[in-house]
Amino acid sequence: MNFIDSHCHLHDSRILFDIPHILDRADKAKVRYMVSCATSEDNFEFTATLSGQYRSVLPCFGIHPWFVKARSKQWKERLEQYLLAYLSGIGETGLDFTDKTVDRDEQIKVFEHHLALARELERPITIHIRKAWDDFIHILKKHGKLKVPGLIHSYSGSADMIPFFETHGLFISFSGSVTNPGAKKVVAALKRVSKNRFVIETDSPDIYPYLSEPTVSRLNEPKNLPAIAQLASNRIGMEFEDFSRHAYENSLKLFYSIFK
């Protein structure tokens, strides 16, 4: 049984010192590929370097909504430079209105530029949405169905929105949050996703799953993906092997254009 971590952040400063061991542990857990998403211009280069050193690392480049204010005046040029230089996806990008003081229009403008690039370059796009579902739906209606599939990572929306997102070319990704015994909304959403539209992720080093074994560190890593798959499949009453096979095959379809 093979796995693909559809969303993680291997550039994160908390795990940089341990990257070779993290990737070795992922390989032993049969996590064959990890989609590592840059979040700002500051980590574009390391993400690119990592993907060059390790065949299992698939890079994505984007401006995360948390870091929109920190972008440079040349951010568009720098983003396109990396996207054209490397076989890569777009993201992490999106909308996050959790902080009510953020400039929503600025986030929307940056996000729409990423969407335009995804359409122009025909690349998969990784989307972060928090407390901005209405605006996101409006943007999707305006832009229409994606030419190349994208995904909503660590899905936190309602189950009722799933069919709309699927018809607009999106896969739905579930993280360790689905293993939380109290995460009824997330489980309901996973049950609603079509079998050919769900993928799984760790969002490493964040969202450590609810595992039974004790751990010294609460930093997440890709090796935990099979455990997430096991717990997620249990929560929706699906056989582990069947669940894992669908997640793996769906990830292959989603990221086919950036496989090395």
CA distance to 36, 105, 219, 222, per residue, from 199 (Å) = 15, 30, 21, 14
CB 182 within 8 A of CB 170: no
21 is in an annotated binding site: no
64 is in an annotated binding site: no
Q: How distant is the alpha carbon of residue 157 from its chain centre?
A: 15
DSSP designation for 90:
E
Question: Is the backbone of residue 129 left (phi > 0), alpha (psi -120 to 50) or beta?
Answer: beta
114 is in an annotated binding site: no
In DSSP terms, 96 is beta-bridged to 130
| Cα separation, 257 vs 124, whole angstroms | 8
203 is in an annotated binding site: yes
Rounded to 10 deg, the angle between the 225-236 and 240-254 helix axes is: 120
9 is in an annotated binding site: yes
113 is in an annotated binding site: no
| Cα separation, 16 vs 241, whole angstroms | 32
Q: Which of 28, 37, 22, 46 is closest to 217 using CA atoms?
A: 22
Q: Which of 166, 230, 156 is closest to 193 using CA atoms?
A: 166
Which residue numbers belong to the known binding site? Answer: 7, 9, 92, 128, 153, 203
Which residue numbers belong to the known binding site for a divalent metal cation? Answer: 7, 9, 92, 128, 153, 203
